[in-house]
Amino acid sequence: MRINQFIAHAGVASRRKAEELIKEGKVKVNGKKMTDLAFQVSGNDLVEVNGQQLRNEEFVYFLLNKPRGVISSVTDDKGRPTVVEILGGVKERIYPVGRLDWDTSGLLILTNDGDFANLMTHPSHQIDKTYVAKVEGHANKENLRPLTLGMKIEGQKISPARYSIIRTEKQKNASIVELTIHEGHNHQVKKMFETVGLPVQKLSRITFGSLTLDGVPAGKYRELTRKEVKDLMNLAK
């Protein structure tokens, strides 16, 4: 297979990112720096990225119900717990697809398939993601209407979202709102609510495309079925 495909299969990066690594001189084949993007890797070739030897892993896909206080990363230089540590029994070199803030809980996918991860995270593929937010203030049609029209946040255009008010808690001056978006900009949901005057107190992602958290308690995970992976890829395409 082509060198970029081999790197993607090893769970290091997507094919596009693999090509960038080759151009940057970070890939070696049999001890020699690789420059040929069309190079065909055989079973006897030794491939290294940044000095790390790669092996062609089988693709694996997991759904994690991420708890609050856990970092959506492979490692953390501050020693905080990471999502990969929760899946400590998985032998493949998996990584999170996108990220949830450390104080955001809910549905997170982990895999070693770089191409799949790229499909899931690119905003042009418009995969719906639904969040439940506890916000400060009384949510109503008037103050939530800007979310459905699209808005600019810090100069960045945000696509229209869908919402449902689950309940308002007048005594606590808080509301529970369900919000569905298909993008994944940094802190997007929190910034959207903050823009309409409803700062987020607590946030959880409950769906990703066709996936839900049914049967997966906080801090637990399960492997996705082949059908679930296929359905997600069809949604992205």
**Do 85 and 117 fall into the same domain?**
yes
pLDDT at 124: 80
- Residue 10 domain-assigned (yes or no): yes
**Do 177 and 150 fall into the same domain?**
yes
Give catalytic status of residue 113 as yes or no.
Answer: no
- Residue 13 domain-assigned (yes or no): yes
**Do 91 and 204 fall into the same domain?**
no
**Do 38 and 20 fall into the same domain?**
yes
- Residue 213 domain-assigned (yes or no): no
Residue of 45, 76, 101, 231 marked catalytic: 101
- Residue 182 domain-assigned (yes or no): yes
- Residue 41 domain-assigned (yes or no): yes
**Do 112 and 227 fall into the same domain?**
yes
CATH number (domain holding residue 35)? 3.10.290.10
- Residue 214 domain-assigned (yes or no): no
- Residue 7 domain-assigned (yes or no): yes
pLDDT at 233: 94
**Do 24 and 81 fall into the same domain?**
no
How far apart CA 235 and CA 127 sit, in angstroms, is 7
**Do 133 and 183 fall into the same domain?**
yes
**Do 33 and 66 fall into the same domain?**
no
CATH number (domain holding residue 100)? 3.30.70.580
pLDDT at 126: 82
How far apart CA 96 and CA 70 sit, in angstroms, is 12
pLDDT at 237: 75
| Cα distances (angstroms) measured from residue 186 to each of 98, 112, 183, 192, 230 | 10, 22, 10, 11, 27
Count of domains for the chain: 3
pLDDT at 93: 83
pLDDT at 14: 79
pLDDT at 115: 82
Asked if 2 and 41 touch (Cβ cutoff 8 Å), the reply is yes
**Do 232 and 176 fall into the same domain?**
no
pLDDT at 137: 97
**Do 172 and 145 fall into the same domain?**
yes
Full residue range of the structural domain in which residue 199 is found: 128-208
**Do 203 and 155 fall into the same domain?**
yes
- Residue 102 domain-assigned (yes or no): yes
**Do 7 and 65 fall into the same domain?**
no
How far apart CA 205 and CA 223 sit, in angstroms, is 18
How far apart CA 100 and CA 104 sit, in angstroms, is 6
Query: Could you report the average pLDDT of every consecutive run of 10 residues in the chain (237 residues)?
Result: 85 84 94 92 87 84 98 91 94 90 97 88 87 98 96 91 96 97 91 97 97 97 97 91
